[in-house]
């Protein structure tokens, strides 16, 4: 057992957990943030993607000890009150989800893709960089559309800040 | 854009909770006093289950019970249902073996469940599952399609040959 201290969605958190606990289980079971999903047990599907210190990471592959002292953002932490993040809005507007299970991971990965794109993003790059996120429902077509749409919105939002 | 009625796009109603992480999938549900299950699975692709000893597991912290495939048979729960009753070109119904939720006597694929541990926490169930002792008698397995279609290939379902 260890005491893990970290920041989750802006709030300081301290939990006593078994050392074998994965970050995804810390979030889901101990902090009741069930938006981050477990999809595969094999680190392939990406339903568990969160941001650790600003970068997309599969939380099913992180032991809590590795996240000690880190700044974690989950799907629950990206909107500002009632105002959706541009990526969330883009998924809604472009029918980028059906059952919704892969969606939090897709959104978190996609935000990271846009953040690293240097303002230029094309379909091939999005498809390549989303290889770590699997979707069983949509066939990816509208997910890619959502990401490209959001990239444009995020550029406008950044320019306005 | 601007179309109303027939031909207009209709925005889904359910997306808000999914894009904000507030969906309620089965594993998201937490009930007061709920227990957790962890399955004991066969490491062999084809084997007879000779015995299951759960006595050590039952003594471990938080363990509520250990259930086996044989108990499913004894309690007359019934098998998993195949919902796709297709026929061959000549009308003969699809050949289908029986699929129990957990294997009572014979394991037919690597990873098939033979027992399940119920405990107060997931970790307690996982730890107790490792203490369940299963004795197997390995049987020959066909591990690729060419081997599986040979007439001499091991048969999975004795009452439905060549499934």
Domains within chain B, CATH numbers bracketed: 35-148 (3.90.1170.50)
Separation of alpha carbons B40 and B127, rounded Å: 11
Q: Is the confidence at residue A112, as pLDDT, over 90?
A: yes
Given an 8 Å threshold on Cβ–Cβ distance, is B123 in contact with A20?
yes
Domain A2-77 has CATH 2.60.40.60: no
Separation of alpha carbons B117 and B63, rounded Å: 7
Question: What is the three-class DSSP state of B93?
Answer: strand
Q: Is the confidence at residue B52, as pLDDT, over 70?
A: yes
Separation of alpha carbons A103 and B163, rounded Å: 38
Out of A75-79, A144-148, B8-12, B135-139, pick the least confident: B8-12
Distance from CA of B90 to the nearest CA of A (A): 34
Tokens of A30: 């101990």
Residues of A in contact with B28 (CB under 8 A): 28, 34
Strand B63-68 and strand B113-119: pairing?
A: antiparallel
On average, the pLDDT of chain A sits at 95
- pLDDT (tens digit per residue) in B18-47: 999 999 999 999 999 999 999 999 999 999
Instruction: Report the residue of B18, B30, B36, B39 to disrupt the A interface, i.e. the one with the largest count of A CBs within 10 Å.
Output: B18
Residues of B in contact with A36 (CB under 8 A): 21
Q: How many other C-beta atoms can be found within 10 angstroms of the C-beta atom of residue B23?
A: 20
Per-residue pLDDT, B155: 78
- pLDDT (tens digit per residue) in A20-72: 999 999 999 999 999 999 999 899 999 999 999 999 999 999 999 999 999 99
Residues of B in contact with A92 (CB under 8 A): 11-12, 15-16, 19
How many residue contacts between A and B have a Cβ separation below 8 Å? 59
DSSP per-residue string spanning B22-88 = ----GGG---TT--EEEEEE-SSSSEEEEEEE-HHHHTSTTEEEEEEHHHHHHTT--PPPP----B-
Report the residue of chain B nearest A88, measured CA to CA: B19
Structure letter (DSSP) for residue A28: I
What residue spans in chain A does CATH classification 3.10.20.30 cover?
2-77
The number of residues making up chain B comes to 163
What interface predicted TM-score (ipTM) does this complex get? 0.93
Confidence of residue B7 (pLDDT cuts 50, 70, 90): confident
What residue spans in chain A does CATH classification 1.10.150.120 cover?
86-160
Per-residue pLDDT, A155: 86
Nearest to B35, CA basis, from B110, B92, B109, B117: B117
The CATH topology of domain A86-160 is DNA polymerase; domain 1 (1.10.150)
Cβ contact A71:A54 at 8 Å: yes
């Amino acid at each position: 057992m260890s005491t893990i201290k970290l920041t989750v969605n802006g709030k300081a958190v301290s939990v006593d957990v078994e050392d074998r606990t994965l970050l995804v289980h810390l979030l889901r079971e101990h902090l009741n943030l069930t938006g981050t999903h477990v999809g595969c047990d094999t680190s392939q599907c990406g339903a568990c993607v969160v941001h650790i210190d600003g970068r997309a990471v599969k939380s099913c592959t992180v032991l809590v000890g590795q996240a000690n002292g880190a700044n974690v953002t989950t799907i629950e932490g990206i909107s500002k009150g009632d105002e959706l993040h541009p990526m969330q809005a883009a998924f809604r507007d472009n029918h980028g989800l059906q059952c919704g299970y892969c969606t939090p991971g897709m959104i978190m990965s996609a935000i990271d893709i846009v953040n690293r794109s240097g303002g230029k993003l094309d379909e091939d790059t999005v498809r390549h960089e989303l290889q770590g996120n699997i979707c069983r429902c949509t066939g990816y077509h509208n997910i890619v559309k959502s990401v490209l749409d959001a990239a444009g919105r995020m550029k406008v939002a950044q320019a306005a800040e | 854009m601007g179309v109303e009625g027939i031909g207009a796009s209709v925005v889904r109603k359910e997306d808000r909770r999914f894009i904000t992480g507030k969906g309620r999938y089965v594993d998201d549900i937490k009930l007061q006093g709920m227990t957790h299950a962890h399955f004991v699975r066969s490491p062999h692709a084809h084997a007879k289950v000779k015995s299951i000893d759960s006595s050590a597991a039952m003594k471990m912290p938080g363990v509520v019970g250990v259930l086996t495939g044989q108990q499913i048979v004894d309690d007359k729960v019934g098998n998993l249902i195949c919902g796709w009753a297709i026929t061959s070109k000549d009308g003969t119904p699809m050949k289908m073996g029986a699929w129990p939720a957990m294997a009572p006597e014979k394991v037919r694929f690597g990873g098939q469940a033979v027992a399940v541990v119920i405990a107060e926490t997931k970790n307690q169930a996982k730890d107790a599952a490792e203490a369940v002792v299963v004795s197997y008698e390995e049987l020959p397995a066909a591990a690729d399609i060419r081997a599986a279609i040979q007439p001499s290939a091991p048969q999975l379902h004795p009452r439905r040959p060549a499934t």
